[in-house]
Every structure is written in C-alpha cells, then in structure tokens.
Chains A and B, each alone.
Chain A
Amino acid sequence: MEAAAAGRDSMRAPPAPAVSAILALRGVTCMFGGLKAVSDLDLDLPPGILAGLIGPNGAGKTTVFNLITGVYTPTEGEIVFEGKPIQGRPTSAIARGGVARTFQSPRLFAELTCLDNVRIACHTHADARLLDSVLATQRSVDEEADILQRSDALLETFALSQYRDSLARSLPYGQQRRLEIARALAAEPRLLLLDEPAAGLNPQETETLMDLIRQAQEFYELTVLLIEHDMKVVMGICQRITVLDYGVKIAEGDPDRIRRDPAVIEAYLGEGP
C-alpha cells in the first residue's frame, strides 16, 4: 500500500536550520502523573512546509498539538513560534498569534449556521471595542461587513456556500470536516495544525480534501502540520514526516526515508519483515 504512493517529489535537502523555523519544539516533555506522553521532543518546521506527524495509537500526536496550542503546558522544554516562546500562554492568545487547528473529531459549533461558524473564527483580528458593538458605531458596522465578506469568500472557496445558512450539525460528515478547515483558515493562521483531517472520509473525499489542503497551503502561504493515520495520504502529501512512538521521536525525514526506516516499520507499519 505504501509503495503505491511512491514517486512523489520529496524534499531531499536536510531540515532547514533552526533559526528560520516558524515553529520549533526544543526538548519538550509532557508528563501526566507518572506517564510521559511526550518525551524530550525536538521538532523544527521551516516556513511553508507541509509536514506530517504520524505514529501508532497513543503515540502522543494529539498531545503534541495540544502542547503547541497551549491546551497543555509542557513539563519541560520550550516551544517557539516565529521566534517567540509560547509555552504557558493561553490557547486563545496563541490562536491570535497565528496558530489555528482542527480536531480529531470535528468540534463545530453545532447549533450555529456554517456562516456563523466561520465568522466566529474571525474573532482573532476583530478589534472593535465592546462599546462600539453595543452602540453599533460605524467602526463596528464596517468591521462586521468585512468579516461577513471574508467569511462568505471562504465558504465559497470550500464549496460550502450552499450550506451557508444551515446549522453545522445538519451537514454531511465530509462537509463538516471541510467546514472545520475553512473555520480554522478564517482565523488567518500562519501555522495550521490538522488533526486527522481525513478520518472517516472515503478515498475519494480524502483525495479532494488533500488537494484542497495543498491549494490552501499555497494560496495562504501556510505552514501545515498534519496528523494522519492514512499512510497513503501522509506519503502522498507531506514533504517531511516525523514519527512518534510512545512519545519519543523515532524517525524524521522525507516520505521515502520514512518508508524504509526499520524503526518505523517495526513500530508502525508492521510487525517487521
């Protein structure tokens, strides 16, 4: 199965030096009681890369996302985003700083319309004061018009315009996934974290979604880090892959190298030849 995805241009250059990394994890450890969910993890993402994070169940992939987005605070180590340490900052502040994410199972605002789902994410760069909103001043009115316009444009890009005024929970599952990515992009991130974007999708839907992710990455000049279980997806789309097992990084490199790495094969791809 993995072999089928071979032949894609892969990034053969060594990882970019740490100084230019948009995101850098240095010796990050996260303990839950006695359990080391993530252990001494180093990770550098050069700007504009589409990187993958893979590993067996319970390897700590989602924990890494939660650490980057400030849901958890690392027990040890440093997380640097665009040159500034972000560990220990509130999740919302990190989001405002330019990191957006999606969740393993979509966390949409189920009882709100698709439009409102996207509009809420525009919160990151809205700055009308409460009083402006209460009095509906020109400033607030202009800003809302701007938010509306950008949200509609995003819905259009993600082919969700027809669902604009439908409640998010009424959407088919595949569209919910798209809506969640559209919503994350509405926050205008520079780093996008996707937690299993293709989970629960059929192969065709997966392919469309991956194309969309790639296009969005180019169009918005994003750096993307994605967690994925579907090996075909990861190998096909990612320029660089990091493999976690029991919270420890066991391999890192381009898809070809990962595919051949014996440690990865043993931990993840099979029981060994």
Chain B
Amino acid sequence: MSQRKFSLWRRVLWTAGALLAAWALDRIAAKAVNPYIYRILVLCGLNAILALSLNLVNGITGQFSIGHAGFMAVGAYTSAAFTVYAVPKLFGVDAAEGGLGAAFPLLCAILLGGACSAVAGFLVGLPSMRLRGDYLAIVTLGFGEIIRVVILNVEAVGGARGFAGVPHRTNLAWVLGGVLGTFVVIRHLMRSYHGRAFLAIREDEIAAESLGVPTTRYKVMAFVIAAFFAGAAGALFAHYTYLHTNSFTFMKSIEVIVMVVLGGMGSLTGSLLGATILTALPEALRFASSDRLIIYSILLIILMIVRPQGILGRGELSLRGLTRLWRRPRPAGTP
C-alpha cells in the first residue's frame, strides 16, 4: 500500500465506485427490507460514524472524552438551521423540494455541520487538552450538557418543542458514504506519521514529547477531527428524523463510548462492529419486551468479563488473510 504509486484516476474511480455501491445498496435495501429494518440500518451507520470518530480520541489518542453527543448536537442544529433558513435563499425553493438537486444543499449542510462542530471541538479542546483523565472527562461532559441546554433555549431552532420542518433527505446511501468517508480518513491517518503521533500520546506522553511530537497540538487535532465527524453524523441525523435535544443527552455519549469499548479501543473495524451490535441488539431483543434492557445489560457485562479488551482488542478485522491466498506476498514493510 505505502509503496504503490499514487494515481488520481484510480482514486476517482474508487470513490465513484464506492458512492455508486452505496446508492445501489440503498435502492436494494429500500426494496428488499421493511422500513423498520431500513431505519435500523441507517442508525447503525450513524452510530458507526460516531464510534469511529470517538475512537480517534478515546481509543487511539488515549484521552477520555464523554461529550460526543454535544458535538453531534452542534452539527445537527447548525446543519438543520442552514437547511431551513439558508437553503431556500441560496438555492431557491426548488432545492427544498427534494430530488437530485437537493443533494448538493444536503452535502453543504453536512459539511457545515461538521465544520461548526470542529470549531466547537477546537474551542473546547484548546484549553482542556492540558487536562488528563478524569478532569478532561468532566470538562467534556460539562460541554455536552451546556450545548444541549443552550440549544433547548434557542427559539429559532424550536427550543423545547424540537426543530420541526427540517426536510428528511438522509437515506442509507448518504449514511454509508459517511461511514466510508470517516473510515478511510482515519485509516489513512493511522498509516501516516500523524496517526502514529496519536498512538505515541496514548502510550507515553512524556516520551512522545521528547521525540518531537507536539502532544498538545496533536490532542487538539484528534479532538477537532473527531468533532468534525460527530458533527457530520449529527447533520445526517437531523435530516433523517425528528430533531430534538433529547437525542443528544449524556446517555448518547455513554452509548457511543460503550460501542468503542465493546468493539475494542483503538480498533477501527471494532468500532464498526460495536456500533452495529449495540444498535441492533436492543431491537433483536424486542421479543423479551420489558426484560430486554436487563438482558441487554447482562450481555454487556458478560462480554466485558469474557473479553475486557473488547471484541477485537486492538486488532483489525481484515480481508488480508483471504487476499493473501491468491496475491503474491506483500513486499516487506507494508503496514
């Protein structure tokens, strides 16, 4: 991988292929499964984006943030406000009607949501990244709650009634695109010296600093990147379902942390797995009606006793084992 020549054309083809595949999957899913399953698939994807991005902070950089829902809320509300107030003026009323022409405004809304969230991440991260462990956790927790309470009191975005009138344009294709984008970005990062700097901070901050890694800068960087994707996930969420601050409580942050821990701290494919399992499991347990939360909790406890390092630990699920069968051996030194 790292010794392969860079080819713009191959990149473009891959990206186009991936987007086409996401679109095709969406069409197939819309036809093949009922809306209930479809909805679970979308939520799996949203949670996967959240878990992947939080993993960058909690698993890879070794910091403990429990304010992820706050960043999601920033992205959700800024993008929703953009769609409701700015899009009709910028792109004409037609754009609000839907169709392919609505894709560009939605993309803008998602990027804007991510960007605003990243700015929030920077503002919170800059002063608080000098804190460690419990202290950082408390600051991020406080941030998440402050954001929620502030939004709850802004009448322009519906306040306590929730933000009505946001067109529901997110579908499975958008969410899959988001998951893929998040995954590829973090994966590429982890194969570069930037990614190794994050790992170095997790392992030993003093040693990392003594080897030329500006640790505070990288911690803030991890925080900002994670906030961007959380904001993007929030934007997708805002354009998918009813938008209310109740979706961004402290419990949402905890839920994402559990996904990261369950999948394996530091493992990207683990985060995908954790998000999928924890989104699907409560639904799969619906047959048990009122006992399902108890069963859910017991299953989590059992898993943490049996595999405290998470399902995948720090390893990654890969197709390499399979591809090795017919590919010639990889050149020595490829990651």
Contact = CB atoms under 8 A, between A and B. Distances in A.
Interface stretch (B140-148, B201-209, B250-258): B201-209
Contacts of B213: 92, 120, 123
B210 A145 contact: no
A130 B203 contact: no
B329 interface: no
A120 B214 contact: no
Nearest to A124: B212
Contacts of A119: 193, 196
B92 interface: no
Interface residues of B, number: 32
Interface stretch (B26-34, B72-80, B184-192, B275-283): B184-192
Interface string A125-138: 01010101111111
B4 interface: yes
Interface string B221-252: 10000000000000000000000000000000
Given A136-B191, A141-B2, A120 B196 contact: yes
A111 B193 contact: no
A95 B192 contact: no
Given A108-B204, A120-B200, A95 B2 contact: no
Interface residues of A, number: 47
Contact of B212 (A109, A134, A187): A187
B197 interface: yes
Interface string A88-122: 00111101100011010001111110001001111
A123 B193 contact: yes
A123 B196 contact: yes
Contacts, number: 117
B189 A109 contact: no
Nearest to A93: B214
A6 to B, nearest CB: 35
A148 B333 contact: yes
Contact of A111 (B5, B195, B314): B314
A183 interface: yes
A120 B210 CA distance: 11
B103 to A, nearest CB: 23
Residue picked from B5, B188, B191, B210, most chain A C-beta under 10 Å: B210
Contacts of A140: 192
Nearest to A188: B212
A134 B192 CA distance: 8
Interface of A: 69, 71, 90-93, 95-96, 100-101, 103, 107-112, 116, 119-124, 126, 128, 130, 132-138, 140-141, 143-145, 147-149, 152, 183-184, 186-187
Interface of B: 2-6, 185, 188-189, 191-197, 199-200, 203-204, 206-215, 221, 314, 333
